[in-house]
Amino acid sequence: MWTNVSYLVVYAVCRVYLVYYVVKMFGAQTGQSALEALLKLRSSCQIGTAAIGAANTIWLLMGLRKFARRYLTRSGPRKNV
């Protein structure tokens, strides 16, 4: 169980938060918020950054859902999963 928790935390930090952090730092250099900085990028960069962020976030939410179903329900961990 703790292996799954640590994996999800590391995934969230390294894959989801990192995209936000890079855009936030770009915004800080230009005196803007992260959203304003994202909107200032070229359209192809906006689409790519949004796609990476969305795909990573969706994957993380699916992992959290699976973790909750497996470890946080009354039935407990399933043996045949």
Q: Residue 81 pLDDT more than 90? A: no
Lowest-confidence range among 26-30, 66-70, 74-78? 74-78
Read off the pLDDT of each residue in 35-58 and give the average, rounded to a whole number.
93
Residue 75 pLDDT exceeds 80 = no
Please give the pLDDT value at position 73: 81
Position 1 scores a pLDDT of 84
Give yes or no for residue 9 having a pLDDT over 80.
yes
CB pairs under 8 A, 24+ apart, for 55-58?
A: 56/11, 56/15, 56/16, 56/19, 57/16
